Amino acid sequence: MTMAMALGMIMPILTWAGTHAPPLVVVTPLLAGPIAVFLHKGRLAWAWALAISILTFVFVLLLMPQVIQNGHIAYYMGTWVPPLGIEYRIDSLNLLILLLVSAMGVLSLVFGLPLVENEIEESKRGQFFAAFLLCLAGLLGVTITGDAFNVFVFLEISSIATYVLVSMGAERDRRAYVAAFNYLVMGTIGATFFVIGVGLLYMASGTLNMADIAMHIHGHSDNRVVRAAFAFIVIGLGLKMAMFPLHTWLPSAYARAPSMVGVFLASTATKVAFYAMVRFIFSVFTPGSPFEGAVFDLVLAPMAVAAMIICSVQALYQINIRRLLAYSSIAQLGYMLLGLSMGSIAGVAAGLLHLFNHALMKGALFMGVGKASLRQGVTNVQDLRGLGKTMPLTAASFTVAGLSLIGVPLTAGFVSKYYLVVAALERGWWWAVAALIVSSVLAIFYIGKMLETMYLHEPPKITKSKKTAPQAPAKTSLLALGPLMLMAAANIYFFFDASLPKGLADAAAKALLGGGAS
């Protein structure tokens, strides 16, 4: 009886939460952030941030059945019907990203406690977690919205929070300030380009709701204002997501940021910018038009290939592990961009699947580095010596994620690369397949270099050296191992059962390319 009664109490609440989940996903961390400022005890702030991020994840989960059932859901802010008001619009595409971002929020918080206690001053931890929550809210806000200008506002919340979070690495590495400043300048130029693009779209259509813009500019792809808007939005978001020639800010920012921030950003920030680009290119502009086709074939695809090869080569030469991984990230963004530039359902789906898988592997790799640095202050590849012996579980997880990055069978990385190859062959892009192979071979080298140091070199004599930061207590150190192994396991799991991300990516690609302006 009590079970039934409890169920009777909970069901209406669940239904209510389900209906209003779209704003709650964003508003929960957004309003929890200011409260975290006043939680002076580091652990308390951390617990608060963790609870909030779990709650956010639950709201995203509540969205899932609705989206899978109805195809997409719309939510009108203040009940103003678009184009008068701001609309939240969730379909399979943003659901995939929302799941990814909110899950990574939880995982990097669980993982991050010992690292934050190691790297951030006690008095600043409350504010640090507040900035983290605001960053999370911003990323989720960009992903969920259906309003072009609202994308800008939330992009800036997440970006400003990110600049601040990156600069917090200065307690470990003074170059973090410069990295954060360069990121700020490049990011603001990107945001301003994006605003110019949105302004031009508004000039051509008179509205800001994405679906409505699409309706108005449909069939006007020869309009020069629309074409310029396309160029500015692609460049603006390209700057935010570190698209190949615009990527200069990224390696330093990721390498100098606090470890926990590196984990979170590497697996979410560029992904969200990539999502926004996909959303604009396919849902707002007309993907079938000759102009966009030309941009795909002549600009985006060559850029993608250049990124895949050049940045992989750059990764080979890096001494600092985080920089190495960051360059590899830019190369991997090339894979996603390649999928996008194919302009076919298979290509876009493969690109999105790779986005999901890349977040898993890069998250795990950055976690591995962070975990290792707790013990022996790892910054350079050299410092990994003998990790296979001193920290076998961490090393094993790192290895799995590394293999996944290369694309070895039995890991998730293989699945998305396989689909990318299939999609490329479908379009007859042999050169793209060749580039994929070359890039993967390069990945073997730079990942291999690290694995070799890890397993074949003796551990350094001064393992617990004085130059490293004080060791974190063993308990919290164990706490960090959980998410790391979970991520590594996910890299294997999604090889055997990729139905969730693959299903969402396929549905998203079909909706993007099949439905036109819908």
Partner 1 sequence: MNADFITPLDAFTIIDLILMLMLLIVGLAIVRLNDIFAIVMLAGVYSLVSALWFVSLDAVDVAFTEAAVGAGISTVLMLGAMLLSSRTALPAKPVRKWASFFIVLATGAALMYAVTDMPSFGDPLSAPNAYVGLEYLKRSLPDTEIPNVVSSVLASYRGYDTLGETSVILTAGLGVMLILGMGGKINGQLKKKAIDYDNADAQAHHTVLRVVSKMMIPLIVLYGFYVQFHGDFGPGGGFQAGVIIASAVILYALIFGVDAAKAAVPPLVVRIGAALGVLIYGGTGIAGLILGSNYLDYNVLDPHSAPHGQELGIMSIEIGVLITVCSVMLVIFYGFTSRQPDITDKDW
Partner 2 sequence: MNGMQFLAGHFNYIVVIILMMTGLYIVISTGNMVKKLTGLGVFQTSVFQLYITMGKVTGGRPPIVAHAPEGAEHAAANGGEHGASTADTAVRMVHDMADVPVNGVIYSNPIPHVLILTGIVVGVATLAVGLALIVRIRETYDSIEEEDVEEAEYKARKAANA
Contacts to partner 2 by CB under 8 A = 74, 78-84, 87, 149, 152-153, 156, 160, 163-164, 167, 170, 174-175, 177-178, 180-181, 184-185, 188-189, 191-192, 195-196, 199, 202-203, 207-209, 211-212, 215
- Would you give the DSSP letter of residue 108? H
Query: What does 86 interact with, of partner 1, partner 2, none (CB < 5 to 8 A by kind)?
Result: partner 1
> 72-76 and 87-91: which strand pairing?
antiparallel
Residues 235, 238, 244, CA angle at the centre, nearest 5°?
110
Considering the complex, state which of residue 117 and residue 212 has its C-beta at the smaller distance from partner 2: 212
The piece of 17-25, 452-460, 481-489, 503-511 that touches partner 1 (CB under 8 A) is 17-25
Q: Least Å distance between CB 18 and partner 2?
A: 19
Task: State the amino acid at position 54 in one-letter form.
Answer: I
Residue 20 interacts with, from partner 2, partner 1, none (CB under 5-8 Å by kind): partner 1
CA distance 160 to 278: 23
Nearest distance from C-beta of residue 475 to partner 2, angstroms: 34
Cis peptide before 83 (omega within 30 of 0): yes
| Contact of 254 with 322, CB cutoff 8 Å | yes
Span 192-231, contacts to partner 1 by CB under 8 A: 196, 200, 202-208, 216, 223-225, 227-229, 231
Phi-psi map region of 343: left, alpha, beta (phi>0 left; psi -120 to 50 alpha):
left
Least distance in angstroms from the C-beta of 153 to partner 1:
4
40 — phi, psi (to 5°)?
A: -75, -30
Least distance between partner 2 and beta carbon 467 (Å): 12
Give the 3-state DSSP-derived string for 480-498, with helices as H, strands as E and coil as C. Answer: HHHHHHHHHHHHHHHHHCC
Q: If contact means CB under 5 to 8 A according to the sort of partner, which of partner 2, partner 1, none does residue 37 touch?
A: partner 1
Closer residue to partner 2 (CB): 23 or 199:
199
Region of 110 (left: φ > 0; alpha: ψ -120 to 50; beta: rest) is: alpha
Question: By CB under 8 A, how many residues form the interface with partner 1?
Answer: 60
Give the shortest CB-44-to-partner 2 separation in angstroms. 26
- Examine residue 168 and tell whether it contacts partner 1 (CB under 8 A): yes
Question: Residue 81 binds which one of partner 1, partner 2, none, with CB within 5 to 8 A depending on kind?
Answer: partner 2
Alpha helices in 387-515 (DSSP H): 387-390, 392-406, 412-427, 430-456, 474-496, 499-514
Q: Which residue is associated with the tokens 């507040």?
A: 130
Q: Is 182 in the site for partner 1 (CB under 8 A)?
A: no
What is the distance in angstroms between the CA of the first residue and the CA of the last residue of the chain?
47
Among 31, 51, 185, 441, indicate the residue that binds partner 1 (CB under 8 A): 31
Q: Which is nearer to partner 2, 132 or 335 (CB)?
A: 132
Cβ nearer to partner 1, comparing 134 with 309 = 134
- Between vectors from CA 159 to CA 73 and to CA 302, what angle results, nearest 5°? 80
> Which residues, other chains included, contact 7 with Cβ-Cβ below 8 Å and sequence gap of 6+?
none
Residue 414's CB is within 10 A of a number of other CB atoms, namely 18
Amino acid code (one letter) for 473: P
Q: Per CB under 8 A, does 153 bind partner 1? A: yes
* DSSP string across 75-94: EEGGGPPTTTS-EEEEEHHH
220-240 burial, b at 16+ Cβ within 10 Å, e below that, comes to ebebebbbbbbbbbbbbbbbb
- If the CB atoms of residues 318 and 491 are measured against partner 2, the closer one turns out to be 318
Q: How far is the CB of 174 from partner 2 (least distance, A)?
A: 5
Burial 375-394 (b: 16+ CB within 10 A, else e): bbbbbebebbbbbbebbeeb
What is the token pair recorded at 244? Answer: 């190949």
Stretch that binds partner 1, among 23-31, 107-115, 369-377, 412-420 (CB under 8 A): 23-31
Taking CB under 8 A as the criterion, which residues in 460-489 touch partner 1?
Answer: none
Residue 37 Cβ, how far from partner 1 at the closest point, in Å? 6
d(CA 283, CA 266): 26
Provide φ and ψ at 57, rounded to 5°.
-60, -40
Nearer to partner 1, 207 or 320 (CB): 207
- Provide the minimum distance between the beta carbon of 290 and partner 1 in the complex, in angstroms, as a whole number: 17
Site string for partner 1, 377-416 (x = CB under 8 A): ----------------------------------------
Contact 80, 455 (CB under 8 A): no
Q: State which of residues 47, 50, 76, 471 lies at the interface with partner 1 (CB under 8 A).
A: 76
> By CB under 8 A, is residue 107 in contact with partner 1?
no
Q: Is residue 362 close enough to count as binding partner 1 by CB under 8 A?
A: no
Q: Does 285 bind partner 1 (CB under 8 A)?
A: no
Q: Which is nearer to partner 1, 224 or 461 (CB)?
A: 224
- Least distance from partner 2 to the Cβ atom of residue 188, Å: 5
- Positions that interact with partner 1 (CB under 8 A): 20, 23-24, 27, 30-31, 33-35, 37-38, 75-80, 83-86, 124, 127-128, 130-131, 134, 137, 141, 147, 149-150, 153-154, 156-157, 160-161, 163-164, 167-168, 196, 200, 202-208, 216, 223-225, 227-229, 231-232
